[in-house]
Structure 1
Amino acid sequence: MTTSSLLSSFPLNLKSLESIQENGSTIPQYRQNKKCGNGIVHLGPGAFFRGHQAWYTHKAMEKCGGDWGITAVSMRSSKVKEALSPQDGLYTLVELDKKISHEVIGSISKVLVLGEDYNEVMHTLCSSTTYFVTLTITEKGYCLNANGDLDINHPDIIHDLIETSSKVSAIGLLAKALESRFLNSVAPFCVISCDNITDNGKRLKKALVKYTGEYNLALSDWLDEFLICPSTMVDSITPATDEQLKSMVSNQYAIQDNWPIKRESFLQWVIEDGLPEHRPAWEQCGAIFTDNVRGFEAAKLRLLNCPHSTIAYLGSLMEVETVYDAMQYEPLVRFVKDMLDSEVMPSIEPPKELDAFIYSRAILERFNNPNVKHLLSQIAWDGSQKLPIRILPIIEENLENNRSICMLCHCVAAWMLFLRKQYLADREIVDPHNSLLLDIVMQCNNNAEHDVNIFVSMTPVFSDVLKRSKKFQQVLTRVYASLSGVLDDPAYPWYRKLLAKAS
């Protein structure tokens, strides 16, 4: 039993902050004996937001002050409000690294639910003291079509264009508030998307301009000229809260918290330069302002997502369960490092603010975090969507520039064999194209040339460039043949040589 577990446990709220501090916890001093304003509204206050943007704002107020309290608005669920309102918006963040640490976050000053508190939400959005609206509503929350434009035929958009009293979509809600500010000569708030969508800011602004253009061209033109919607890139692993975490916070830190959260120590927030001067001091707390968000996105896809998928598929063939478990196999780690250095790094033009080599090694350190249990099976899902973004474009560039593709082809071949293994084990293939993939794996006969030809014919995954490339298919066929024995013999020489756990 730890010393802290012998201390009195206190319910988390403003009244108990001093006692919680006396028990050894770091608390938000800016929340003691005063309010921290409501300069920001956030839509979608899930765990990622509370471990990421809310943390950056918390640190900015700790360091530089400011009335940047966040009004967190849940678009549908009341669970966050029920958990955090009795706690005055406070919650515990547990940072998972080789050494676990924690602190109380105080940047959320109020939690609302759109359906329950619509008028208060709208009043806050329209207030001249609201300067920023941030969003983590997942890609589907933007109501975009396959081309990344606003889907005018989306049911929520149809509802919001007709219904004047209340809005249900984020686009409709923001547009309604911006219209009020326009009519009352109040400058538009800055809108920051923090969802994993390429060019998220540009797409969000375009959606708002198109939506308002359906009924008010003057408003649409005003937004087109004055609305600031920077593109961003975000990164940090935030596992779901479980009972074990709640018990740890209560027993070890003496805090009774309705909804603590946990995340890895690494986090990244890259924001397109051009924000208003009056803003939280995010850049003094680690946020990066740049004119090249796309460069950071490309680096993340190639230096994080590419090795992530590679480990997922090779590790799954090894019957390994988590990323951390896979990282204990030294030959696999060495393989991934060699792939990054020889085949991935040459394809990257990093932004001036990023050292690509240091970044790549930091990512591998993240993968080796014993307190983050990231399942390979989850990373392996939806491969038909991930490979065309994470792996195949690098192969195309390397082919064009006469660079090696052999190691990258190991990931592609391992994906194919992973799908076959799922089928042979009578396990579900989790993928938007699962019917097509199931049809393909049923035709496979373990003849490398035959199997590769069937897979590469899959138009939703492989481009015409790769279908026409003899070199790609030759290398992929050779790699597939070297790996295919894994399905039948776990002691296959390639498997034993490369992936056997170091003694």
Structure 2
Amino acid sequence: MILDKNFLQNSAFNKAEYNYSQDDLSAGIIHIGVGNFHRSHQAYLLDSLFNQRKDLNYGIIGAGLREYDTFMRDDLLKQDCLTTLVQRDENTTNTRVLQSMIDFIEVDNNLLVESLCNENIKIVSLTITEGGYYIDSYGNFNIQNEEIQADINNPDNPKTAFGILIKALKIRKEKGLNPFTLLTCDNIAHNGNVLRNVMVKMSQQIDADLSEYIASNVSCPNSMVDRITPTATKEDIAFIQSEYGYIDNRPVFSEPFIQWIIEDNFCNGRPALEEVGVMFVDDIEPYELMKIRMLNGSHAAISSVSALLDIDYVHEALENETVKTFLDSIINKEVIPVLKDIVTDINLDEYYNTVITRFANPYIKDTITRICFDNSNKQPKFIIDSIKDGIKNNVNVDGLILACALWCRYSIGTDENGKELDINDARKDKLKDLALEAKDNPIVFIQFDEIYGTLSQNTYFSETFTKFLNSIWENGVENTVKNYNKQ
């Protein structure tokens, strides 16, 4: 039997735990970029709030802009936008069907603009990945990008998320409707500020008055999100059918841990998510920096070395002594010493232990391929920024630089046994060309200024990177990492 509204209402599955249904909800949020993480995180927390019979006017409508979004939409509509979420670790398995999404807009930009102009929509949230904000390695908005320029020159027929949002805000302004809050849920430092900068600078090129209106009236709160959510497998789908007797073609599996911290800055109301554990704060910077450098940074640090050592899962990487020691050295010797003077009200050693415990959860089956995804956008934020701060604070960052050299070797696309690596990165062809050239001239790779900026001009960084990359080619990946671990 396929999961749908009738099945949920008529089955005994978790029936006592459902205090609301989709029919009780009305739309208040449009979410652009409906993936696994959104459903395990925002959709789950809203479901928890709705189950308390609170703020039922904040139901979610899904939206997408890309062709691949049509597949998610089709699958979810077949099951009435319901999602099975399974939270599990070595001790517990908790399963719930989430009902917080009530519709999914057809992948049509005009329909999306029309929906955004509904006065009941008070929040537009986004998970469009780090690469979706058109920012370069310096953190600047690349307004010259072809897609951005196309929207600036043709604002009535926008294709990007930002062009669509600008058009919708213009219509709402003209109709005298309150603007919506723009809430990004992507892993970017100061993500709300980044989003605001894109919106203001892009709209300046379209309509100066509208740009001023957006800058003055539209809230873009910074937020920090956290929940490990791997891609569901065929085995996961089979698990749902075997354990619960129905088919969900888009289930989500996650760890039990969840965190969402948001600056309390909403221009048109918000749901009372503090009732279900969300933290609303005045300044998010210490929290997001800790998470980006220690959690996302840990993923980035072990991604390439694990792939090159033919390790399939994150929990297996933590079981590998070479990888685990490498990560411990980076975080304890190179990351925490910089953060301790910035994050003063949190025990960073305890936080790192929590990170390691979460990574070691064998039931998540978080793949190395997933944490390698889009590495060219992750490296600047999760690794290179730590290197820059370490150098500035006279902290030895050899391990972080070794992570860069390992990423260079990974970018060739094969491991040391010739096995092809599954590289999913928009820059993979350019990176491969540079990585191949770097075999004889290492400095070439770090002169890719879209990634490294001017860092290659730092003698310590360039010499250390060269030393490690030469060692990888001469002595192999594992021996190079082991030698670093002995330091």
Q: What is the TM-score when the length of structure 1 is the normalising length?
A: 0.79
- For residues 263-274 of structure 1, the aligned pairs below 5 Å read 263-274=254-265
Q: Does 1:69 align with 2:92?
A: no
Alpha-carbon shift at residue 300 of structure 1 (Å): 2.4
Aligned to 2:36: 47
* Cα distance change of structure 1 residues 381 and 263 upon mapping to structure 2, 3 Å threshold: closer
Aligned to 1:329: 320
Conserved 8 A contact 1:423-1:438 = no
Q: Does 1:356 align with 2:354?
A: no
Q: Does 1:220 align with 2:211?
A: yes
Aligned to 2:46: 57
* Cα distance change of structure 1 residues 302 and 92 upon mapping to structure 2, 3 Å threshold: same
Aligned to 1:93: 85
Alpha-carbon shift at residue 293 of structure 1 (Å): 3.1
Q: Whole-Å Cα distance in 2 between the matches of residues 158 and 108 of structure 1?
A: 32
Alpha-carbon shift at residue 388 of structure 1 (Å): 4.3
Q: Whole-Å Cα distance in 2 between the matches of residues 163 and 249 of structure 1?
A: 45
Bigger mean CA deviation after superposition, 220-229 or 313-322: 313-322
- For residues 170-181 of structure 1, the aligned pairs below 5 Å read 170-181=161-172
Q: Whole-Å Cα distance in 2 between the matches of residues 200 and 214 of structure 1?
A: 22
What is the Cα-based RMSD across aligned positions, in Å?
3.8
* Cα distance change of structure 1 residues 376 and 23 upon mapping to structure 2, 3 Å threshold: closer
Give secondary structure in 2 for the equivalent of 1:259.
coil
Aligned to 2:431: 433
Partner amino acid, structure 1, of 2:73? K
Alpha-carbon displacement from aligned partner over 1:341-387 (angstroms, at most 9, x marks no partner): 23221111455664422221111112111123334355457666654
Alpha-carbon shift at residue 439 of structure 1 (Å): 0.8
* Cα distance change of structure 1 residues 482 and 293 upon mapping to structure 2, 3 Å threshold: same
Q: Whole-Å Cα distance in 1 between the matches of residues 410 and 114 of structure 2?
A: 52
Q: Does 1:106 align with 2:99?
A: yes
Alpha-carbon displacement from aligned partner over 1:279-333 (angstroms, at most 9, x marks no partner): 1122232323233333333222321233323333443454433221121134643
* Cα distance change of structure 1 residues 473 and 153 upon mapping to structure 2, 3 Å threshold: closer
Q: Whole-Å Cα distance in 1 between the matches of residues 202 and 327 of structure 2?
A: 45
Q: Whole-Å Cα distance in 1 between the matches of residues 473 and 431 of structure 2?
A: 23
* Cα distance change of structure 1 residues 89 and 26 upon mapping to structure 2, 3 Å threshold: farther
Q: Whole-Å Cα distance in 2 between the matches of residues 107 and 463 of structure 1?
A: 42
Give secondary structure in 2 for the equivalent of 1:95.
strand
Partner amino acid, structure 1, of 2:183? I
* Cα distance change of structure 1 residues 25 and 360 upon mapping to structure 2, 3 Å threshold: farther
Q: Whole-Å Cα distance in 1 between the matches of residues 455 and 78 of structure 2?
A: 58
Conserved 8 A contact 1:85-1:110 = yes
Q: Whole-Å Cα distance in 2 between the matches of residues 123 and 421 of structure 1?
A: 43
Aligned to 1:390: 382
Give secondary structure in 2 for the equivalent of 1:300.
helix
Q: Whole-Å Cα distance in 2 between the matches of residues 83 and 266 of structure 1?
A: 27
* Cα distance change of structure 1 residues 29 and 477 upon mapping to structure 2, 3 Å threshold: same
Alpha-carbon shift at residue 107 of structure 1 (Å): 0.6
Alpha-carbon shift at residue 194 of structure 1 (Å): 1.7
Q: Does 1:241 align with 2:232?
A: yes
Q: Whole-Å Cα distance in 2 between the matches of residues 91 and 247 of structure 1?
A: 15
Q: Whole-Å Cα distance in 2 between the matches of residues 143 and 63 of structure 1?
A: 39
Conserved 8 A contact 1:27-1:105 = no
Aligned to 2:311: 320
Aligned to 2:283: 292
Alpha-carbon displacement from aligned partner over 1:61-103 (angstroms, at most 9, x marks no partner): 2235112111212334433333233433222112242233210
* Cα distance change of structure 1 residues 483 and 278 upon mapping to structure 2, 3 Å threshold: same
Bigger mean CA deviation after superposition, 344-353 or 106-115: 344-353
Tell me how many residue pairs correspond in the alignment: 474
Conserved 8 A contact 2:408-2:445 = yes
Partner amino acid, structure 1, of 2:77? S
Alpha-carbon displacement from aligned partner over 1:396-445 (angstroms, at most 9, x marks no partner): 4444444444544553454456568947655668544221211111x27x
Q: Does 1:31 align with 2:21?
A: yes
Conserved 8 A contact 1:234-1:268 = yes
Alpha-carbon shift at residue 495 of structure 1 (Å): 4.3
Conserved 8 A contact 2:182-2:221 = yes
Q: Whole-Å Cα distance in 1 between the matches of residues 356 and 259 of structure 2?
A: 15
Bigger mean CA deviation after superposition, 397-406 or 292-301: 397-406
Conserved 8 A contact 1:142-1:170 = no
- For residues 92-491 of structure 1, the aligned pairs below 5 Å read 92-98=84-90, 99-115=92-108, 118-119=110-111, 121-139=112-130, 141-142=132-133, 148-149=140-141, 151=143, 154-155=146-147, 158=150, 162=154, 164=156, 167-276=158-267, 278-316=269-307, 318-330=309-321, 332-348=323-339, 349-351=341-343, 354-376=346-368, 379-380=371-372, 386-412=378-404, 414-415=406-407, 422=414, 425-426=417-418, 430=423, 431=428, 432-441=430-439, 443=440, 467-470=457-460, 486-487=475-476
Q: Whole-Å Cα distance in 2 between the matches of residues 212 and 418 of structure 1?
A: 39
Give secondary structure in 1 for the equivalent of 2:179.
coil
* Cα distance change of structure 1 residues 463 and 63 upon mapping to structure 2, 3 Å threshold: same
Conserved 8 A contact 2:326-2:481 = no
Q: Whole-Å Cα distance in 2 between the matches of residues 397 and 142 of structure 1?
A: 23
Q: Whole-Å Cα distance in 1 between the matches of residues 220 and 293 of structure 2?
A: 26
